[in-house]
Amino acid sequence: MKLGRLPRTKMDRDSKRLGRGIGSGKGGHTVGRGTKGQKARNKVNLGFEGGQVPLYKKLPQMGGFKNPTKKDIIAVSLSSLNAFKDNSEVTPDKLVEQGIVKRVPGNSIKILNNGDLTKKLTLKGFTASKSALKKIEKSGSKIL
Q: Is residue 96 part of a domain?
A: yes
In this prediction, residue 24 carries a pLDDT of: 81
Q: The CATH number of the domain where 133 resides is what?
A: 3.100.10.10
Q: Is residue 127 part of a domain?
A: yes
Q: Is residue 39 part of a domain?
A: no
Q: Is residue 132 part of a domain?
A: yes
In this prediction, residue 23 carries a pLDDT of: 84
Q: Is residue 12 part of a domain?
A: no
Non-local CB neighbours of 85 within 8 Å, separated by 6+ positions: 119
**56-68 pLDDT, tens digit each:** 888 777 776 788 8
Count of the separate structural domains present in the chain: 1
Q: Is residue 115 part of a domain?
A: yes
Name the residue range of residue 107's domain. Answer: 73-143
Q: Is residue 80 part of a domain?
A: yes
Sign of CA dihedral 73, 114, 131, 135: negative
**13-50 pLDDT, tens digit each:** 778 888 888 888 887 888 888 889 888 888 889 989 99
